[in-house]
Amino acid sequence: MYEFKRVQAAGADINNELLKIWIARYLPEFDKISHHVRNHVEQRLRSSITDEARQATSFNINHHLESDCALAAVDTQQLLSKKLSPSPDSWELQELSIKIKQIYAVLIDSYEKSFIFSPIVDYIHVIDSEERRLEAVDLVIPHFASLMLTVGPLLRELKAVYFSSVNHHLVGFMTTQLHLTRKRILSHLTPYDCTWLVPYLHVLDELMCMPWQRICSIVPSTSNMTQSLAVARKMMPQISSISAYTYQQALQTFPKHISSQGRIQSAAVQASSLRDLNMFQAYIWLCVLEDSSSVIEKQLLPLCLQVFSLTDVQWKLVNFGVQTIIKTILEQLLPHERAIFKKQAGIIESLFLNAQPQEEQVALLQLQTSDAVDAANLTGTSN
């Protein structure tokens, strides 16, 4: 069996284990491919990323990129303009569109010319478990670091547009436009092309909205931090599966929920929901690792209140997502691990509950009461 060569991440201020967990989430989930079609799928995946295939994909995307970005900007304005008061400055919206197009162009160029997954293409047949995924990431890290160096300056320019704006709604406009642009880009591609290109587009989403770089810079300096890190390393590889479970629970609990993107059952809402649930978990683990909830209180919560109010997402659904994530994590922890996690989890739950409109608090408290027995059991075993 092929043994992946271990590579240290550049820079002493990077936690290599957390970096690997972050990057592993971008690898296609080869282990979930059915065995009876696996050989065929692997062949198609390989053929979709030859130099010629990536060049053709890049040409296809670039051919539509200007119109995709322009149409996504129009869609965003139509979606949000009635709710924005005051409306963002037209110059700021134009700058956002220009920066977004530039970043996507750079990502597509990198996909064609500096494919970060090249080192593992010949070994996808042995990436059949989470452990093997983490091992494979060692080969990807240097290429990923190079991509970050390329995209980094453009991300700072994009962030500067809304950080310098007096209109606090601009960040909601930006996240929506990013989502709609990505949706249009992917509409031109085959499923096999999407498998390899989607990670490039998700990188942009996560660098703009999630604190992964801050998470990966955490190096434990005390025994408490070491214990928190051990819990995070155990659970963070499950972020995607916990998000998927939470979304399914939301489907059952709020089957009639409709946001500005459509019904909760729609593909568009599913994609944005999974992204948001991943974001919640990234912030939750940052709080656990830093032993402080300030990053949620000062960054995530204001962002959620802005964006979800603009897109007609009910706050009780947001709260349900946070509650379900925390409950699901607690159920998978050992008693001593729960004690570590619950210190920040309880504060985070309270922050979201207290932030919601007053009229929704009673309904949510009733929903929480229905889970009282399970919560009591978890509390009892964590002492």
HSE-up of 112 (CA within 13 Å, CB side)?
A: 16
Instruction: Report the distance separating Cα 229 and Cα 214, nearest Å.
Output: 14
Short-list 240, 256, 234, CA closest to 199: 240
Instruction: Report the distance separating Cα 118 and Cα 50, nearest Å.
Output: 10
Mean pLDDT rounded to a whole number for the chain: 84
Say if CB 317 and CB 263 are below 8 A apart: no
Query: What was the pLDDT predicted at 270?
Result: 93
DSSP summary character for residue 86: S
Q: What is the pTM (predicted TM-score) of this model?
A: 0.84
Instruction: Report the distance separating Cα 250 and Cα 252, nearest Å.
Output: 5
Give percent of the chain with pLDDT exceeding 70: 86
Query: If DSSP codes are grouped into helix, strand and coil, which group holds residue 259?
Result: strand
DSSP string across 166-198? S-TTHHHHHHHHHHHHHHHHHTTS-HHHHHHHH
Query: What was the pLDDT predicted at 85?
Result: 67
Instruction: Report the distance separating Cα 262 and Cα 270, nearest Å.
Output: 10
Confidence band of 345 (pLDDT split at 50, 70, 90)? very high
| Greatest mean pLDDT range, 124-138, 150-164, 193-207, 226-240 | 226-240
Query: What was the pLDDT predicted at 37?
Result: 67
Which of 7-21, 71-85, 95-109, 169-183 is the least confident region? 7-21
Query: What was the pLDDT predicted at 309?
Result: 84
Query: If DSSP codes are grouped into helix, strand and coil, which group holds residue 239?
Result: helix
Instruction: Report the distance separating Cα 54 and Cα 115, nearest Å.
Output: 9
* Whether residue 2 has pLDDT greater than 50: no
Instruction: Report the distance separating Cα 91 and Cα 96, nearest Å.
Output: 9
Say if CB 362 and CB 319 are below 8 A apart: no
CA triplet 323, 329, 330: central angle to 5 degrees? 90
Which of 49-58, 86-95, 132-141, 222-231 is the least confident region? 86-95
* Whether residue 11 has pLDDT greater than 70: no
Give percent of the chain with pLDDT exceeding 90: 42
As a whole number, mean pLDDT of residues 171-190 equals 89
Query: What was the pLDDT predicted at 222?
Result: 82
Give burial (CB, 10 Å; 0-12/13-18/19+) of 210.
buried
Confidence band of 6 (pLDDT split at 50, 70, 90)? very low
Say if CB 51 and CB 178 are below 8 A apart: no
Element (H, E) at 47: helix 35-47
Instruction: Report the distance separating Cα 377 and Cα 383, nearest Å.
Output: 11
Q: Helix %, strand %, coil % for the chain, to 5?
A: 75, 0, 20
Say if CB 26 and CB 202 are below 8 A apart: yes
Q: What is the CA radius of gyration of the chain?
A: 21
Query: What was the pLDDT predicted at 121?
Result: 82
Query: What was the pLDDT predicted at 194?
Result: 87
Instruction: Report the distance separating Cα 83 and Cα 9, nearest Å.
Output: 44
* Whether residue 236 has pLDDT greater than 60: yes
Query: What was the pLDDT predicted at 319?
Result: 95
Report the largest interatomic distance among the alpha carbons of the chain, rounded to a whole angstrom: 61
As a whole number, mean pLDDT of residues 69-86 equals 82
Q: Give the domains, in start order, of the chain with CATH numbers.
A: 16-213 (no CATH), 220-381 (1.10.490.20)
Tokens found for residue 138:
């060692």
* Whether residue 178 has pLDDT greater than 50: yes
Confidence band of 123 (pLDDT split at 50, 70, 90)? confident
Say if CB 100 and CB 81 are below 8 A apart: no
* Whether residue 371 has pLDDT greater than 60: no
Confidence band of 173 (pLDDT split at 50, 70, 90)? confident
Tokens found for residue 168:
């606090």
* Whether residue 320 has pLDDT greater than 80: yes
